[in-house]
Amino acid sequence: MAAADEMILILDFGSQYTQLIARRVREENIYCEIVPFNADLAPYSKRNVKGYILSGGPASVKEPGSPRLEKSFFQTDKPVLGICYGLQLIADTFGGELVRSETREYGQSQINLGGNSPLFKNVEKSSRVWMSHGDSIKRLPSGFTAIASTATLPIAAAESKDGKIFGLQFHPEVMHTVHGKQILHNFLFDICGCKGNWTTESFIESTVRDLRQKVGNGKVVLAISGGVDSSVCALLLKKAIGDNLYAIFVNNGVLRKNEFTDVQMMLSSLGIHLIAVDASRRFLSQLAGVEDPERKRKIIGNLFIDIFEEEAHKIGGVEYLAQGTLYPDVIESVSFKGPSATIKSHHNVGGLKERMHLKLVEPLRELFKDEVRRLGRQLGLEEKFVGRHPFPGPGLAVRIIGEVTEERLAVLREADAVFIEELHKNDLYDKIWQAFVVLLPVKSVGVMGDERTYENVIALRAVTSTDGMTADWAKIPHEVLAQISSRIINEVKGVNRVTYDISSKPPATIEWE
């Protein structure tokens, strides 16, 4: 990821909102990175870090072994903003007194401002905020003063008397905090002195420059699917290295209806070297009898690596592997940038790096999906690419609960095609983040004509989201759902019942497997 001239560094203490903090910073056109609270910050000494934000976290500062920072960290001329756990850690580090609450305060609260802190410029004297904490500060350390309170919390915000360290007991990054955006704006611009010059134009310029410097005349292979991530990645690489980019599109046997041919036609407009490989039989033979979702993912990922390796060897002289990896992919795949749990493995071709000793190129690694869409539009990518819903690498294999067979794939493909067609027809597709059909491992009794049926049940899944980190189920009008259900049951042989998934993320994930 090409870094901007200025940046904010976010230290992650395990908060569920850490990525949301990053999003809010980037919405101000300021580049930021998330690092674990215990990361070695020496590499950032040569970067133009304008300030630090300490995230919240589930731990108690009073617990043995809780995440800590050395006091020397605060001996910097850079401003620091501690949020929730971050504020408690600041208070404890400097000798304040904390008290463990009997019950965790979670939900809306009303703060009242005191004094004239620059952190609260243009913020109403009394406003709603979102609290989520177990500890609270009973006494501030010497050199700090309280700048906000609530009816039950004397110290809801504080700052150091030298104007360098600030802390909030509430979360400014969530929408429930009415003036949260303004508070962060004040910290970033008035306190840290940021200019807000991280734009799509500057990102393209710096990324293309860095790609040219890194790759030179080397050949690069890219796994491409026709989705926005890999397509934007392809355009950036093409802009940087021209014909030394080779994009490989593999039919893994679990693509949607007509997708292998449709995507090839779409990609032809990008003017890149495209190599299309139909390996559907190889994938389906290895998936036979497999029901566990993680095994499906591993089988598809490993076989993809085999095929990709074969094609790269045919090209010859390949030095680099490019991936359209995004920030949420990285966050969900590993315990990344702080004490956060692995959700599920993400399909990528990273294994090629070790197998073929390729150097990895991931120009989108620190971007969220909506940032990639904006980037694509700036690069002139057609809306048919930019607006495509995300599609997982393991494809329909993780939308069939249980064994993947030709028969079950045929049912799922037809039902999914009807669903997506109706969303387009009713002008809903672009209002939805992701929509798809899941084939369930159950059958139900039905009546078609005068005959009893015992056939498949499918679930429709549609969600709204900004970046895929959180999502809500889409409120599709009932009459549209009725039309979708009627068409699927009447047109797709083998289905006699349609359900609609109304789970949000969290607690559910977007995909079922």
Q: Which residues are the active-site residues?
A: 84, 171, 173
Residue environment code for 246-282, b if the CB has 16+ CB neighbours within 10 A, otherwise e? bbbbbbbbbbbbebbeebeebbeebebbbbbbebbeb
Per-residue CA distances from 359 to 204, 216, 221 (Å): 21, 13, 11
What order of strands is seen across the sheet that includes strand 80-83?
Answer: 31-36, 7-12, 49-54, 80-83, 165-168, 157-160, 144-149, 97-113, 126-139
Q: Are the C-beta atoms of residues 358 and 321 closer than 8 Å to each other?
A: yes
Per-residue CA distances from 17 to 26, 61, 352 (Å): 14, 18, 33
Q: Are the C-beta atoms of residues 14 and 132 closer than 8 Å to each other?
A: no
Q: Are the C-beta atoms of residues 223 and 267 closer than 8 Å to each other?
A: no
- 334 in helix, strand or coil? coil
β-pair partners for 495: 456
Q: Are the C-beta atoms of residues 254 and 417 closer than 8 Å to each other?
A: no
- 66 in helix, strand or coil? coil
